[in-house]
Chain A
């Protein structure tokens, strides 16, 4: 089992990250991944991601480790960008390999849902008329709470 997390300002190729999960472990028959990218709309020009260096990486490691504790995984991988990004650019990659699909899919869903509420990232939208900080969606808290029901001791 290996856990890998990275926070970086450079862009990344989701295909290359998916390739890192593929074909490595003979006992893994399933790979699942999630890619979040900058959504256009309104008069959005760019998205900016700020984080708390050091604390963010620690939170991501704990989230990936918790996924590996809950499901039988070969690998857990999280890569998150910070800084300024244009519409359509990837923001985050979350992926897992596992012997079976259910573990890979659920672990991937767990990691992205928990990341959204437990890792210190903040989004700022730059539009044609100015910029503003993004408020989390109420559904984000609910998704995380559903995973953590019955295990409130886990905090990233």
Chain B
């Protein structure tokens, strides 16, 4: 399964990149994706914080949502607009 990953704001700084494409990821859900990313890079522990929100294909989604080939998953720190 191929996934497009985006990191915003403080998480981009912590991950050292704004996006990446993963070609073969054994991650059936957002939760599994976070676990897999943490195995690849210790900095990804920041993604596991409960305040981090996932936006999957432009919609806020729970970590338990099943992922599909070609999905775009954005990791977002708490919003602070206005």
Contact = CB atoms under 8 A, between A and B. Distances in A.
Interface of A: 36, 49-52, 54-55, 58, 80, 91-92, 112, 115-124, 133-136, 155-156
Contacts, number: 63
A120 B79 contact: yes
B9 A119 contact: no
Contacts of B82: 36, 80, 91-92, 112, 115-116, 121
Contacts of A115: 81-82
A91 B81 CA distance: 9
A2 B6 CA distance: 33
B76 interface: yes
Nearest to B81: A121
B80 A134 contact: yes
A134 to B, nearest CB: 5
Interface residues of B, number: 16
Interface string B48-74: 000000010010100000000000001
Interface of B: 6, 8-10, 13, 55, 58, 60, 74, 76-82
Contacts of A91: 82
A130 to B, nearest CB: 12
A97 to B, nearest CB: 21
Name the residue among A52, A115, A155 with the largest chain B CB count within 10 angstroms. A52
Contacts of B10: 122, 133
Nearest to A131: B13
Contacts of A51: 81
A120 B8 contact: yes
